[in-house]
């Protein structure tokens, strides 16, 4: 080890896996944002909580920043290491540790992939209901760090609702055991909830106890084509009143074009500006008839132009692909992403203002919208035109994001619904959180990480 600091770390932890090859630094130093040039000092792959604690102690002594790292599928730069940090990858700590049939909990290490959690829950006849398209590569530790949402929030809520215990190594290397799986625990501040969504700036999750639940009843998946934007919330209100929704997602014709070009199958002929994929409980024939009646009512009202109901699991998967495949279909274009939310009741007014703003500010730029409209959460993906430099493009997107942030502020919304603040959104945190809140957040960070070694620069500029 030519670097004295790393040689010291290796001396302290002779069994610790440390990577320093350029290809490895690049691989572990970036997330899905692909905007920053990775430049970590090294990658540490601990295999135990003891090793994580020792690394954090070493980082304090040596004043080295740590970037906790899971599946690096993040879209806000929260796991980027571009300034000589030590990336602490939890990918080797990826086991299921325990299943408790009475508590209906699964205790896992943080590097476990979400899909593996789903499979483990299913093997016990239960489900872990948080779900989204990155399920095959994101890790539970990263989900906790960002309070990940996804496509079933409308039914099950965010990650936050499903974590009943956490073990966390905080900034001074101490291990905290938070909530210990309790359902009821009125014993003061809930540090577990504070850790969830803190983006690795307060502690490193080294173990999590997840609450499981019963699988949902049989469901049906429907794709709807909508004639105009106002119809989105009209159909949502109708379907929510008449059916038990598991998901209600939307995308635009632009999003559809990309996903079709990327291999998905067209399910509705004709051109429509908006589409909805919805999944709802369909326990028996009566429930299926109710869905059909809701669809027909929407058709009569002129809120829906066309629609299909999946007749098999394969068709359901094909319909879902139209929504879930969007991110992947855009990935090579490295879109600038906004991930915003407002209260459901504010969606119609906000959508109109936002559409006018984007049309005015991005006249020559392709903007692809999709998202979890039933949660008031929209993803706005801006695509850099050929011939425009990255620098000009980012400058323009940041200008529009400032305007968008002001619009959100007027509507009481959030600049980050589910992707986190990371590096991408930190300049806009003030649009969502008051100065008093931000000052308290920084104070909390000082308490948990006095020397600022945990993911500095994420969430807040400068530390």
Q: Provide the binding-site residues for ligand MLT, judged by CB under 6 A.
A: 75, 132-133, 327, 339, 371, 379
In the complex with ligand MLT, which residue's Cβ is closer, 13 or 133? 133
Query: Measured between alpha carbons, how far is residue 357 from residues 349, 372, 408 in Å?
Result: 13, 20, 12
Diameter over CA atoms, the chain: 73
In the complex with ligand MLT, which residue's Cβ is closer, 138 or 310? 138
Smallest distance, ligand MLT to C-beta of residue 130, A = 12
In the complex with ligand MLT, which residue's Cβ is closer, 31 or 339? 339
Eight-class DSSP state of 33: T
The DSSP annotation for 64-130 comes to --EEEESS---SSSTT---SSPEEEE-TT---EEEEETTTTEEEE-TT-BHHHHHHHHHHTT-B---
In the complex with ligand MLT, which residue's Cβ is closer, 327 or 407? 327
Tokens for 8, please give them. 């010291």
Go through 331-359 and write b for each residue having 16 or more CB atoms within 10 A of its CB, e for each that does not. Answer: eeeebbbbbbbbebebbeebbeebeeebe
Cα distance between residue 72 and residue 325, in whole Å: 18
Cα distance between residue 165 and residue 225, in whole Å: 42
In the complex with ligand MLT, which residue's Cβ is closer, 249 or 281? 249
Smallest distance, ligand MLT to C-beta of residue 377, A = 8
In the complex with ligand MLT, which residue's Cβ is closer, 290 or 394? 394
Given a contact cutoff of 8 angstroms between Cβ atoms, the answer to whether 8 and 16 are in contact is no
């Amino acid at each position: 080890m030519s670097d004295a600091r790393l040689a010291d770390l290796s001396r302290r932890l002779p069994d610790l896996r440390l990577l320093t090859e350029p290809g490895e630094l690049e691989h572990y130093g970036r997330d899905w944002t692909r905007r920053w040039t990775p430049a970590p000092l090294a990658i540490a792959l601990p295999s135990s909580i003891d090793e994580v604690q020792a690394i954090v102690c070493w980082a304090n002594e040596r004043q080295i920043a740590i970037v906790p790292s899971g599946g690096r599928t993040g879209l806000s730069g929260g796991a980027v290491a571009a300034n000589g940090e030590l990336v602490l990858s939890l990918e080797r700590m990826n086991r299921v540790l325990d299943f408790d049939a009475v508590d209906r909990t699964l205790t896992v290490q943080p590097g476990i992939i979400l899909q593996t959690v789903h499979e483990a829950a299913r093997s016990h006849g239960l489900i872990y209901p948080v779900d989204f398209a990155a399920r095959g590569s994101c890790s539970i530790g990263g989900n906790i760090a960002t309070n990940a949402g996804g496509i079933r929030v409308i039914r099950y809520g965010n990650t936050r609702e499903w974590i009943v215990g956490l073990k966390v190594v905080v900034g001074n290397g101490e291990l905290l055991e938070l909530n210990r799986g309790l359902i009821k625990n009125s014993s003061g501040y809930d540090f577990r909830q504070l850790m969830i969504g803190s983006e690795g700036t307060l502690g490193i999750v080294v173990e999590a106890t997840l609450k499981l639940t019963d699988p949902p009843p049989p469901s049906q998946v429907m794709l709807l084509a909508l004639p105009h934007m106002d119809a989105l919330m009209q159909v949502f209100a109708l379907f929510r009143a008449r059916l038990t929704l598991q998901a209600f997602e939307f995308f635009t014709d632009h999003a559809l074009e990309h996903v079709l070009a990327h291999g998905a199958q067209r399910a509705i002929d004709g051109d429509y500006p908006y589409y909805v994929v919805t999944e709802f409980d369909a326990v028996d024939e009566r429930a299926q008839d109710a869905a059909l009646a809701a669809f027909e009512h929407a058709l009569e009202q002129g809120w829906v132009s066309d629609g299909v109901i999946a007749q098999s699991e394969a068709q359901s998967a094909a319909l879902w692909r139209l929504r879930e495949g969007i991110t992947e279909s855009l990935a090579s274009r490295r879109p600038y992403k906004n991930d915003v939310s407002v209260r459901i009741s504010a969606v119609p007014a906000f959508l109109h203002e936002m559409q006018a703003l984007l049309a005015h500010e991005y006249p020559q730029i392709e903007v692809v919208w999709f998202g979890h409209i039933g949660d008031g959460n929209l993803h706005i993906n801006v695509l850099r035109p050929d011939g425009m430099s990255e620098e000009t493009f980012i400058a323009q997107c940041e200008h529009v994001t400032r305007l968008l942030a002001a619009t959100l502020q007027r509507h009481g919304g959030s600049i980050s619904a589910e992707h986190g603040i990371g590096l991408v959104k930190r300049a806009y945190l003030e649009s969502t959180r008051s100065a008093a809140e931000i000052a308290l957040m920084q104070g909390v960070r000082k308490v948990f990480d006095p020397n600022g070694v945990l993911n500095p620069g994420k969430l807040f500029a400068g530390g």
